[in-house]
Amino acid sequence: GIVLVGPNTMGILCTRSRLFATGTHTRPREGSVAFVSQSGNLGVQLIHWAERQGVGVSLFVGSGNEAVVTCSDYLEFLSEDAGSRTIMLYLESMREGRRFFETAKKINRTKPIIVLKGGRTEAGRAASASHTGAMSGEVKIFRAACRQAGLLEARVPSELLDLSAGFSSLPLPRGNRVGIVTLGGGWGVVTSDECNEKGLAVPPLPQEVVNRIGKHLPPFWSRGNPVDLVGTRDPEAPLVAVEELLKWEGIDAVISLGIVGRIEFLRLMNQSIRTVDKNMPAGFLDQTEAMVRDYEEKYIAATAELMEKYAKPVIGVSLVSTSGGTVRSVPGRRYSAVLYETPESAVHVLARMVNYQNILGKEETEYRRQ
Q: How far apart are CA 335 and CA 150, in angstroms?
A: 24
In the region spanning residues 129 to 168, those forming contacts with its own copies, defined by CB under 8 A, are 130-132, 155-158
The answer to whether the beta carbons of residues 325 and 175 sit under 8 Å apart is no
AA letter at 274: R
118 lies in the site for its own copies, by CB under 8 A: yes
C-alpha to C-alpha distances, 125 to 44, 89, 128, 155, nearest whole angstrom: 22, 18, 5, 15
Only one of the segments 18-26, 72-80, 102-110, 277-285 lies at the binding site for its own copies (rule: CB under 8 A); that segment is: 18-26
Using CB under 8 A, pick the residue from 185, 250, 302, 305 that binds its own copies.
Answer: 185
Question: Residue 247: is it exposed, middle or buried by C-beta count within 10 angstroms (0-12/13-18/19+)?
Answer: middle
Q: Where are the alpha helices (DSSP H) in the chain?
A: 40-53, 71-80, 97-108, 122-131, 139-149, 157-169, 185-197, 207-214, 237-247, 262-276, 282-310, 343-369
Residue 159 CB, nearest approach to its own copies (Å): 9
Contacts for 52 with CB less than 8 Å, ≥ 6 apart = 325
In the region spanning residues 257 to 316, those forming contacts with its own copies, defined by CB under 8 A, are 258, 264-265, 268-269, 271-272
| φ and ψ of 199, to 5 deg | 85, 15
241 lies in the site for its own copies, by CB under 8 A: no
In the region spanning residues 60 to 79, those forming contacts with its own copies, defined by CB under 8 A, are none
Only one of the segments 111-119, 287-295, 298-306, 357-365 lies at the binding site for its own copies (rule: CB under 8 A); that segment is: 111-119
Using CB under 8 A, pick the residue from 137, 175, 224, 324 that binds its own copies.
Answer: 224
Total chain residues near its own copies (CB under 8 A) = 69
In the region spanning residues 324 to 343, those forming contacts with its own copies, defined by CB under 8 A, are 342-343
126 lies in the site for its own copies, by CB under 8 A: yes
- The one-character DSSP state at 151 is P
Using CB under 8 A, pick the residue from 190, 237, 245, 354 that binds its own copies.
Answer: 190
Residue 219: asked if its preceding bond is cis (omega within 30°), the reply is no
Residue whose CB is less far from its own copies, 69 or 127: 127
Q: Which residues pair with 30 in a beta bridge?
A: 57
DSSP β-ladder status, 327-328 and 337-340: antiparallel
Residue whose CB is less far from its own copies, 41 or 148: 41
Q: Which residues sit at the interface with its own copies, rule CB under 8 A?
A: 24-26, 37-43, 45, 48, 52, 90, 92, 116, 118-124, 126-128, 130-132, 155-158, 180, 183-190, 192-197, 201-202, 204, 222-224, 226, 228, 258, 264-265, 268-269, 271-272, 319-321, 342-344
